[in-house]
Amino acid sequence: MSAGKLKLEIEQGATFRKVLTWRYGTPLAAMDLTGCTARMQIRAEITNDTVLHELTTENGGITLGGVAGTITLVIEPTDTAAFTWEEGVFDLEIIFSPTEVRRLVYGPVTVSPEVTRD
C-alpha cells in the first residue's frame, strides 16, 4: 500500500485539528491501530535537517482511535501562533512494531497568517 498525498493548511493562532480514518480492503474496513504509535514531522524541505514542528502519540499531538482506525492530529493555538514559517512538507508514520512502520500520508503544509492578534 502506497502512502496517500494530503495537503494540510494550518491557520496561525488557531487550533489545528485534523481527523483521518485509515480504511483498506474491499469492502472498506477500518485499520485496527490498537497498540500502535505514530509520528509526524514538518520540515521546510524533505532534505532539511531542521524539524519545524513534530507531533507524536507520546507528546499528545497524535491520538489513535484503536479499532475505529482514526488518527487525530492536534496543534495547540499557542504553538500555531508561534509559527514563523509559511510552507513546509510533512509525512505521517504509523508504527506497528519496531520492525513495521508504514507511511500513511505525506504532502505540503501551508500556514495561513493570523490577522487578529493579542
Percent of the chain surpassing pLDDT 70: 100
Question: What pLDDT is attached to residue 1?
Answer: 72
The domain spans of the chain are 4-112
Rounded to 5°, the CA angle 77-78-82 comes to 110
Question: What pLDDT is attached to residue 73?
Answer: 98
Q: Tell me yes or no: is domain 4-112 CATH 2.30.110.10.
A: no
C-alpha 63/C-alpha 19 separation (Å) is 9
Of 110, 95, 115, nearest in space to 52 by CA: 110
Is a pLDDT exceeding 80 seen at residue 92?
yes
Task: List, for residues 63-72, the tens digit of each pLDDT value.
Answer: 999 999 999 9
Question: What pLDDT is attached to residue 118?
Answer: 73
Task: List, for residues 32-45, the tens digit of each pLDDT value.
Answer: 999 999 999 999 99
CB of 62 within 8 A of CB of 40?
yes
Is a pLDDT exceeding 80 seen at residue 80?
yes
Question: What pLDDT is attached to residue 57?
Answer: 98
**Torsion 59-106-47-44 (CA) sign:** negative
